[in-house]
Homo-oligomer: A and B are copies of this chain.
Amino acid sequence: MLGNLLRPDIEKMIRDKDWKHLRQEFAQLDPSDLAEILEEFPLQDAALVFRILPRDAAAVIFEYLPLELQTKLVQSLADEQLVNVVNAMAPDDRTRLLEELPPEVTKRVLGSLTPSELKIARQLLGYPEDSAGRYMTPEYVAVRPDMTAAEALSYIRKHGKGAETLNVIYVTDEKGRLLSDLKLAALVMAQPTMKVEDLSDGQMFNIPATADREEFVAAFEKYDRVALPVTDSKGVMLGIITIDDVLDVAEAEATEDIQKLGGMQALEAPYMDSPFLDMIKKRAGWLLVLFFGEMFTATAMAFFEGEIKRAVVLALFIPLIISSGGNSGSQATSLIIRSLAVRELELSDWARVMRREILSGVVLGSILGLVGFLRIVLWPSRVAVYGPHFVQVAVVVSISLVGVVMFGTLVGSMLPFLLRRLGLDPAAASAPFVATLVDVSGLIIYFSAASIVLRGLL
């Protein structure tokens, strides 16, 4: 919003090459607001503006830019500025940037790092994608258990510069093993002569470096900490993850799940920033898969062509019946996918969920079945529209509704478990995917019920 207000001014200054006022304008802005303004500019202008920013400001703003723009900017920066910006980035943000860059640019960026920064980047890059190792930063402060509070504070004053956060301080032994954590506030509030080991509350939570995103998001929700330590299998502390990154991760996870649930591949950028063709590809892929799946409905219906010919009335209820199955499946799958994602349900809960969902399906199906039955037998022009056997038709429709809704609920709730069991993302059990599975079986249920109930009548 601020960006929109200032944009005309800034554009004018760029046109006029009025660098002095531009710098002054920028100095008054918050880095995140400036980043927002830069995002709106054509790359050329953004790169230009970026180059005239004061050294430190440029580094801070760079971290606020979206990954996509960072990638492009990096390629347009001169070596000297690249060194400055990339060295100043937090190691976890740098890791994510390095993953996105084309290999030749990655090489250039790695070349621009100081030896110690390079070591950190390499270390962070060694962990599997989306694991805690990729999100941690090694820039934390650790103290020893036998320091006094005063010693610890003066140690922090000396070594704390550049740490990602000082809100939490870590206590490690001489081998780097994590012993406990300690809030800076607790150190400040403590008697100066108290020992660090006596200040800690003895509670300590750590995240294994191999933990995946959902796991560490869940840990943050559970423990209400602003930072959690990441450790290797021997308990040696490797880095910390801070809660601001976790908030971003949690939001990105939810966005991905919602897009997948809607039946498409997740976009990598916000809607308006995604290139049109890229978005079409991510949508067309799943639409085609669903379309091929849905083709089986035509095959199934061709099989029942004779029944339809004899009783066209049956065709009237096809959309009603298959969509009810799809809707109940969509409810079940979104419930279960989310519960699995936020770890309210585990893989081992599948049997309990199945019992619950079968029961839900029967109850929900019976409600719809009853309404459907009444809709047909109480319809004023029932004989004209549904024929003389309208009661039997109503029976077929309501039996089918119970069956289809139950089947939809079952498929929708069990598919996410199955996908997780197979090591896939449960969110791939999208609402449209479940609906498609249920459509074909719904038709079979419907026409089977019809051929039994209406036998000899038509």
A interface residues (Cβ-Cβ under 8 A, vs B): 30, 32, 153, 156-157, 160-161, 165-167, 183-185, 188-189, 203, 205, 217, 220-226, 243-244, 246-248, 250-251, 254-255, 257-259, 261-264, 267, 270-272, 276, 279-280, 283-284, 286-288, 290-291, 294-295, 297-298, 301-302, 305, 308-309, 312-313, 315-320, 322-324, 326-328, 330-339, 342, 344-345, 349, 352-353, 356, 359-360, 363-364, 367-368, 371-372, 375, 385, 405, 430-432, 435-436, 439, 443
CB within 8 Å for A167 and B338 given contacts A263-B330, A287-B328: no
Question: What does DSSP make chain A's interface, helix, strand, loop or mixed?
Answer: helix
B160 touches A185 (CB 8 A): yes
Copies of this protein, total: 2
CB within 8 Å for A431 and B330 given contacts A258-B254, A324-B294, A338-B255: yes
A254 CA to B217 CA, complexed, in Å? 14
Residue of B whose beta carbon sits closest to that of A315: B315
CB within 8 Å for A367 and B288 given contacts A262-B333, A342-B251: yes
For the complex with contacts A263-B334, A315-B318, A323-B326, 4 further pairs of A-B residues with Cβ separation under 8 Å are A153-B188, A188-B188, A262-B330, A271-B339
A270 touches B344 (CB 8 A): yes
A226 CA to B224 CA, complexed, in Å? 11
B248 touches A251 (CB 8 A): no
B294 touches A334 (CB 8 A): no
Q: Point out the residues of chain B lying under 8 angstroms from A309, CB to CB.
A: 312
CB of A426 to closest CB in B, whole Å: 12
